[in-house]
Amino acid sequence: MINIRALAISLGIFVGGTLVFLGWIATFGWLDNMVNAIGTVYFGYRPGFIGGLIGGLWGFIDWAIAGYIFGWIFNKVVQKQ
């Protein structure tokens, strides 16, 4: 059994933090195409300080939900064995 809450929070923090970092370094022209591509999915995510924070929030919410769903499915599969 896996702790669903811990998985959801840790995935959210990891992806959210990564998106904040990418948004901030894209200010200097590094990986700005990648940030703009991700920004087509996460509204408001663009290179810059505020854009990075917005992307981090989107990433945290999105991946926390995905982590929760994955953990729930994983626990259901493990219970049946």
Reported as a single tens digit per residue, the pLDDT across 48-74 is: 999 999 999 999 999 999 999 999 999
Tens digit of each residue's pLDDT (9 = 90 or more) over 5-29: 999 999 999 999 999 999 999 999 9
Q: What does the pLDDT read at residue 70?
A: 98
Which domain range does residue 73 map to?
4-80
Task: Provide CB contacts within 8 A for 55, sequence distance 6+.
Answer: 19, 20, 22, 23, 35, 38, 39, 42, 44, 45, 46
What's the residue count for the chain?
81
3-state secondary structure (DSSP) of residue 47: coil
Helix (H) or strand (E) holding 9: helix 4-25
User: What pTM, to 2 d.p., does this model score?
Assistant: 0.91
Whether pLDDT at 81 is above 90: no
Q: How many domains are contained in the chain?
A: 1
CA dihedral of 46, 52, 53, 56, whole degrees rounded to 10: 100
